[in-house]
Amino acid sequence: MDNMSQFPYGISVMEITYVVASVLFILGLKMLSHPLTARRGNILAAFGMGFAIIATILFHKKDGEPIGNIPWILAAIIIGTVIGWIIAKKVKMTAMPQLVSFFNGMGGAAAALISMMEFPHVSSDLIARQGMANGQVLAILLGLMIGTISWAGSMIAFGKLDGWIGDLRIRSLKYVNIAILILLIGFIVFIMTRDVEAASELTHWIYIMFAVAVIYGVLFVMPIGGADMPVVISLLNSFTGVAAAMGGFLYNNQAMLTGGILVGSAGSILTVLMCKAMNRSLLNVIVGVFGGGGQSGLEATGSIKEITLSDAAVLLSYSKKVVIVPGYGLAVAQAQHICHELDKILDEKGVEVRYAIHPVAGRMPGHMNVLLAEADVPYEQLIESDEINPDLPNTDVVVVIGANDVVNPAAEDDPSSPIYGMPIVKARNARNIIVMKRGMGKGYAAIENLLFFDNKTRMLFGDAKSSLQNLVNEVKSL
């Protein structure tokens, strides 16, 4: 039974299925915009993908023949589902950025493998009519290049986030990256202008192009460090979406195309927003010339002043407005639940408590939103940094928990700092500042935080989880 004759007007079961799946993707993405609906949105989009896969297995036909290798396909789906389920259940919140990079890389690898497998099978009739310069070949080559870069770059990002790959800082590397990018574009032009009878004659060039794309993906991410990592994760995510969209063009698969477009466009928009939040140029992201780890031209002046738990509890309990600035240290300590307990106790005492969320706090876009949502912190308490900054001069206490670079005044005061120009949470404008840290270690950008030496700053040293628990006990006893 041909799948093109199931409905009137030539509409096939597959086309209806893909339209339904596409609608579910769009609805799911829309629901992700709010924490209260995000879980349902994720499930809805996953159901749409599953629906499209099942329908493809059941109804897809090529030259009148049903799809083959069903046992292998089902086995792969089962194995992938089990592995994904186990990883998702066991991964810690602190490792979520690494998981995002890994999964994103797998999407890029899948797109690249599809291109490598499909290139030798480009229709000879199509080549005879249009030559190699046709849409099918272009989709394959773009999918190969972009998917490979996404895979290689994501694996390097995974290693850097996990701490076992360092930064490679060579000043001339940006020119090398630009040259390699031009070379990759040259490969596409070269392959599409060859006069051949079958694409299989050029398969060896595909493998060479793959190798060059791997090198670019590695070198493109290697120099990136410091607080810039959320930007590159977002960019790589958009790359994977574009690569998947190329597969949608290749197979005339509306669900695959819609999913790829949604991921690619959402990732691109997020990348632009991240660049704005980091005061970085998108061109610099692409050629891989930005990162932390530089030296600051300003010397820290003043002395470090500590505060006791009892004094901190009194200060917080008798305040009117308190703002909490969460950072990666909060995620490391898994202290989000105790932090929420503290804000609830202060709320019962009549203290207005809000959270200042910097767009790139943590190691991935939205890291703090995800962390605090897990602790059931009301979404209304999470305020973006640019919205809360004007009210900080009227704030009695700012409590910085595990955040570093996103509150560092060097971003405003020190032109030689690698984070200069980056919008920050202007914690120093508050009347009092309490910084909770395990020690005087530097942040991800590897520079001194001038906020720690401010006259209004008091340090509360210790693990965030135990410090918050002790602080909660002190506040309760007042």
Tokens coding 456 = 């209004």
391 is catalytic: no
The residue from 228, 343, 405, 414 that is catalytic is: 405
DSSP letter at 132 equals: S
d(CA 302, CA 22): 58
Give me the half-sphere count of Cα atoms (radius 13 Å) on the Cβ side of residue 66: 8
* Angle, alpha carbons 396-337-339 (nearest 5°): 15
Nearest to 471 by CA among 309, 232, 262: 309
* Angle, alpha carbons 313-318-321 (nearest 5°): 100
Are 442 and 292 contacting, i.e. CB atoms less than 8 angstroms apart?
A: no
Are 28 and 45 contacting, i.e. CB atoms less than 8 angstroms apart?
A: yes
**Cβ neighbourhood burial of 151 (10 Å; 0-12, 13-18, 19+):** buried
d(CA 412, CA 389): 14
Are 113 and 244 contacting, i.e. CB atoms less than 8 angstroms apart?
A: no
For residue 405, the Cα-to-chain-centroid distance in whole angstroms is 18
**Cβ neighbourhood burial of 332 (10 Å; 0-12, 13-18, 19+):** middle
Tokens coding 291 = 């990162």
d(CA 18, CA 23): 9
Tokens coding 43 = 């499930």
Residues 6+ apart with CB under 8 A from 422: 227, 277, 278, 279, 405, 411
| Bridge partners, 458 (sequence order) | 434
d(CA 339, CA 342): 5
Local structure of 69: helix, strand or coil:
coil
Annotated catalytic sites, by residue?
Answer: 405
